[in-house]
Structure 1
């Protein structure tokens, strides 16, 4: 019984071990998947739910919560993702969408962490929800900050390119998380740290540029 519980909590099929070579395609280690799904939720929560559900339902990936594989959940996630796909590529509309998503993305991340923890016990579920929710909030903050900097560019191409890059990053990170979870964990951690640093640098530059613009405008208005 104890072995079965441990197998469930780690996202591994119960039963006799058959070797890493036979189970690697189906096993998903808990912590990397929780962390990566949290990061992905902060970037695009609906795409994360949709992709995880598809992985579990059609690819047979273990460790994916059964609730995500339901048809109604997949259809709802697909519809909301389609809506975000459009809104996220329109300058300033994406900022409004991000503002609304400030509560949604971390909440979805926390729920995913809770579900992924599965039968691992209340403490592990609480920890997983906290890790995923916090990571989602952090990646959402980085995304919002980068978009603020991108909006200073006059052409809309930058906004579309950044949005497409985010979508591809979410898909790639989740695909990696269900095949090479610790590799995904390392890459996502580096991306989150690098994105945070880049956001700080760009935000400071934008603020300095805005202050200089206000000073020049003030000087022009004061001229007789």
Structure 2
């Protein structure tokens, strides 16, 4: 069960920022003895992978804070973030971490964690991509850097929690989804009320 929570936290982080969990997994496997990726995922800690994910992480962090560009970035990331979530879940759930010494939940079905990770990351990405345009319109773009910074912090917190406190990571994933859904409902209710109020009475 713990390996599922580890993978879920990493996949959810990928739904907010595609490259952060991959870069973090690679760095931790390479330099810090808190995670040991299995051979099938060890390429994440190679020089090439670290350089590529590191550069793409910086690009996404910057692009996501620019109004209008952030929405274009979300469209481009519709495929990338779920794919990253699948990789992050697969690597994290099968790794030996400080909290998961003998992962066995997905033994014999290597494709299952990848699919689960894709679904989790896609769900978070869809919520993020839905909330951002509404916030940009409501605040004339002022909210973009603030929301983006909050998402970066959330992604980082999910990664740390997934590795060191998987149960907390699971709770954070649920809290993120609930918060995003409530925000969307509130915005839609507000827009509906505004539309009704603007209809001229006979």
Q: Same fold (TM over 0.5)?
A: yes
Q: Which has the higher contact order (CA 8 A, sep 6+)?
A: 2
2-structure distance, mates of 1:122, 1:214? 59
TM value normalised by structure 1: 0.74
Q: Which of 103, 111, 116 in structure 1 is aligned with 2:87?
A: 111
Aligned residues: 188
Matched, 1:49 2:35: no
Aligned to 1:222: none
Aligned to 1:95: 71
Q: CA 1:71–1:193 in 2, change beyond 3 Å: closer, same or farther?
A: same
Q: Which of 142, 145, 159 in structure 1 is aligned with 2:127?
A: 142
2-structure distance, mates of 1:79, 1:72? 11
Q: CA 1:117–1:177 in 2, change beyond 3 Å: closer, same or farther?
A: closer
1-structure distance, mates of 2:55, 2:107? 33
* Residues 203-223 of structure 1: CA deviation (Å, up to 9, x unaligned): 4434654x469868xxxxxxx
2-structure distance, mates of 1:85, 1:180? 25
Aligned to 2:107: 121
TM value normalised by structure 2: 0.82
Check whether the contact 1:149–1:206 (CA below 8 A) recurs between aligned residues.
no
Cα RMSD for the two superposed structures: 2.4
Q: CA 1:114–1:154 in 2, change beyond 3 Å: closer, same or farther?
A: closer
Aligned to 1:38: 11
The structure having more radius of gyration, on CA atoms, is 1
Gaps of 5+ in 2: 95-103
Gaps of 5+ in 1: 1-9, 11-28, 217-224
Check whether the contact 1:149–1:203 (CA below 8 A) recurs between aligned residues.
no
Matched, 1:70 2:43: no
* Residues 112-135 of structure 1: CA deviation (Å, up to 9, x unaligned): 223334485342x23211221111
- Alpha-carbon shift at residue 200 of structure 1 (Å): 2.7
Aligned to 1:5: none
